[in-house]
């Protein structure tokens, strides 16, 4: 017998739930579902491209972003550049 199960999580951050498709005590399929969308991706395309906005994406994990942005003001290196151009011999 197939049985769908929904597990809603409280969070350490996440508006997330899991859906499981269980058949004979075996998980046949599973989904991780983000249940909340705010559209920051679109807001940040507009005139609101600003540290004041980015740091409000999450109050839980703003620490890494604060740290990176505060240091990147002095060292103008973006994460994308670091990933795209690793130092020679890095791998």
Residue numbers at the binding site for another protein (CB under 8 A): 6, 8, 10-13, 15, 35-43, 46-48, 50, 52-53, 55-60, 62-64, 66-68, 70-71
Q: Tokens 């899991």 identify what position?
A: 18
Task: Tell me the closest approach of the beta carbon of residue 18 to another protein, in angstroms.
Answer: 13
Please report the sign of the dihedral spanned by the C-alpha atoms of residue 29, residue 35, residue 39, residue 44: negative
Nearer to another protein (CB atom), residue 46 or residue 89? 46
Nearer to another protein (CB atom), residue 28 or residue 38? 38
- Phi, psi torsion values for 71, nearest 5 degrees: -80, -30
Task: Tell me the closest approach of the beta carbon of residue 67 to another protein, in angstroms.
Answer: 4
Kindly report the number of other CB atoms within 10 A of residue 54's CB atom. Answer: 17
- Which tokens belong to 68? 């990176």
| In contact, 20 and 8? CB cutoff 8 Å | no
Nearer to another protein (CB atom), residue 24 or residue 86? 86
Task: Tell me the closest approach of the beta carbon of residue 71 to another protein, in angstroms.
Answer: 6
């Amino acid at each position: 017998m197939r049985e769908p199960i929904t597990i809603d999580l409280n969070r350490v951050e996440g508006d997330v739930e899991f859906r499981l498709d269980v058949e004979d005590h075996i998980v046949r399929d599973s989904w991780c579902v983000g249940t909340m969308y705010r559209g920051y991706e679109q807001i940040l395309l507009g005139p609101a491209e600003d540290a004041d906005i980015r740091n409000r994406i999450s109050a839980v994990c703003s620490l890494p972003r604060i740290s990176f942005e505060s240091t990147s003001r002095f060292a103008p290196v973006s994460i994308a550049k670091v990933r795209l151009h690793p130092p020679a011999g890095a791998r």
